Structure 1
Amino acid sequence: MLHDSPPPRSGAAAPAAEPADDSDFLAHYLARIGLPAAPAPTVNGLAELQAAHIAAIPFEALDALTGAGVDIGADAVAAKLIDRRRGGYCFEQNALFLRVLVALGFRAEGLIGRVRWMLPDDAPPTPRTHMTVRVWLDGRPWLADVGFGAAVPPQPLAMDHGDAQPTRHESYRIRPRAGGHRVEADIAGEWHVLYDLDDAPAPAIDYELGNWYTSQHPASHFRNQLVAARTTAEARHGLRDNRLTIRRADGSSEQRYLTADEIEAALATVFLLTPEPGWRHAIERAATAEIIR
């Protein structure tokens, strides 16, 4: 149940609000993800953008964990993820990506869904707390998600069939369901549900409410765990409190448990973040976490 108080406004009409002139924004974004020029609005161009984004801009939710709050207004997201070289979670990552795609001439729209990752099939419905992007290319819908942590799809996924789609990491499939789609990943030979998506584009208030729940509600796991992730062509890197996991594209993996100083160092070297003084208490708490090994 939500608290009685209303969610804070982010200051934007929608997560993907586009200013009148996005040329400077695009130049700064492309520099941030390491691309010398904007790709063409094609499937290959979309794949190039998606891979560069998830390798350069880490998934993290430290502002939710520390209580700093998460502003999903377009200017706030750009200032944080581009100018301050921070990461973010889905409402920030995919809002930024959607803004970029629209500015580059892609036909794109935001979708919202319910996370089902690591839940049993009979678990009750979860809130709508995951934003994704749908891109239309030559009449075909493609899922472009840059904000699902250590299981983020590393490339666009076709949404018009339910067959397995291999990627350089796991295989994915998108199956139709009543009112939308179910996104699944093949983890170690077994299909696992990531999230259920509504088919209709979401209004701005759905992102506002989802972001408020995710960043403020005590039941949100981002309020209780230190989480970071980054995916490159070679490997997936995931941090959950004091557990660092590396899963390589060749199938090998490793896992280590870190001290507070090692967590801080990993945030800098693995996840490309500059640790801030306000994070230290959360880092020290994460270092003492008891995780089932």
Structure 2
Amino acid sequence: MTTSTAPGTRTDEWNLADIDLAGYLARTGHPAVEAPTAAALRSLAEAHVRAIPFENIDVVLGQHKGIDVSVINSKILRGDRGGYCYEHQMLFGGVLERLGYRVRRLMARGKADRSGPHTHMMLVVTAEGQDFLTDIGYGANMLRPIPLVDGVVVDQGGWELRLEDDNGWWVLSKRVGDEWEVMYGFDLIERRRVDYEVAHHYVSTHPKSPFTGQTVVMRLEPGLSRRLVGHTLTVERPDGTATSTEVAAEDLDRTLRELGVVLTASELAALRATW
């Protein structure tokens, strides 16, 4: 049994009433949406990615307050902060439902060609009768939704992503040179809120999680990908050119601000202590 029905008829498992829609539109700089169209979905997704960074600093500092909408509102909409997949997708999925879209909340298996766990949250959104993979919380990878169509290839700010259906197991890949690199795989089983609470606990606390031991901040815009992973800032362009710079502790505040993350003095001091 799934948990999603037509907008307005489901229980508020996702705390939709707590979504600060006006604050969200102000944070992303997006105008009011008159109807849940495919064009509006595309522009909302791109506005979100360009305005709100992917980052895991609360996880690194051991101060993550959870993935309730009220917490996300305070962190992302009232501060110059971002979040990782659960925060982005909880917020964006709620915004889309408030705007009248049909939203299915799913989970993906990272490194689907190997043995990664189901820990990534993404959405499939229906607009004007078409389903779209909508993922604004996978770091510097996706600017716009991808039609849920086997074999479709979509430009994402200069980088190509491909979606394939293998008997109900969908695989998302990214073109790297002449090869396709698998990003993740997923089915269309809708998930409950508790599934994300469990996954969030693992990702934010387990020593084998890729987010507990190093800082990760990512931004994507057309023609430019920026990624701070650990102490290394990598700036990449679609033609494959990239530069990597080691970020010293004294340059950390400036680097984070350039990536759209503003920490309090105590947070900055705590993060520098991990450097």
| TM-score of the aligned structures, taking structure 2 as reference length | 0.89
Question: How far does residue 165 in structure 1 lie from its aligned partner after superposition?
Answer: 2.1
Q: Match for residue 273 of structure 1?
A: 261
Aligned with residue 104 of structure 2, among 90, 102, 109: 109
Q: Match for residue 192 of structure 1?
A: 181
Q: Match for residue 283 of structure 1?
A: 272
Per-residue displacement from partner, 1:73-94 (whole Å, max 9, x unpaired)?
1111111111123100000001
- State the AA in 1 paired with 2:44: L
Q: Match for residue 132 of structure 2?
A: 142
Question: How far does residue 217 in structure 1 lie from its aligned partner after superposition?
Answer: 1.1
* Kept after mapping to 1: 8 A contact 2:38/2:128: no
Question: How far does residue 42 in structure 1 lie from its aligned partner after superposition?
Answer: 1.6
Distance 2:178 2:29 in 1: 34
Q: Match for residue 26 of structure 2?
A: 31
Q: Aligned with 1:132: secondary structure?
A: strand
Q: 1:70 to 1:162 in 2, by over 3 A?
A: farther
Q: Match for residue 204 of structure 1?
A: 193
Q: Match for residue 211 of structure 2?
A: 222
Question: How far does residue 153 in structure 1 lie from its aligned partner after superposition?
Answer: 1.1
* Kept after mapping to 1: 8 A contact 2:157/2:221: no
Question: How far does residue 250 in structure 1 lie from its aligned partner after superposition?
Answer: 5.8
* Kept after mapping to 2: 8 A contact 1:39/1:48: no
* Kept after mapping to 2: 8 A contact 1:242/1:263: no
Distance 2:21 2:195 in 1: 26
Q: Aligned with 2:64: secondary structure?
A: coil
Distance 1:163 1:171 in 2: 10
Is 1:235–2:224 an aligned residue pair?
Answer: yes
Per-residue displacement from partner, 1:113-167 (whole Å, max 9, x unpaired)?
11118xxx4x3x22221000111123321011011112x2111101122232223
Pick which of 214-223 and 87-96 moved more.
214-223
1:90-169 matched pairs, under 5 angstroms: 90-116=85-111, 121=113, 123=114, 125-150=115-140, 152-169=141-158
Q: Match for residue 258 of structure 1?
A: 247
Q: 1:236 to 1:225 in 2, by over 3 A?
A: same
Give unpaired runs (5+ residues) of structure 1. Answer: 1-12, 287-293
- State the AA in 2 paired with 1:169: G
Give unpaired runs (5+ residues) of structure 2. Answer: 1-11
Distance 1:188 1:45 in 2: 32
RMSD: 2.0
| TM-score of the aligned structures, taking structure 1 as reference length | 0.83
Q: 1:33 to 1:39 in 2, by over 3 A?
A: farther
How many equivalent pairs are there? 263
- State the AA in 1 paired with 2:41: L
* Kept after mapping to 2: 8 A contact 1:140/1:160: no
Q: Match for residue 174 of structure 1?
A: 163
Distance 2:165 2:150 in 1: 8
Q: Match for residue 9 of structure 2?
A: none
- State the AA in 2 paired with 1:174: L
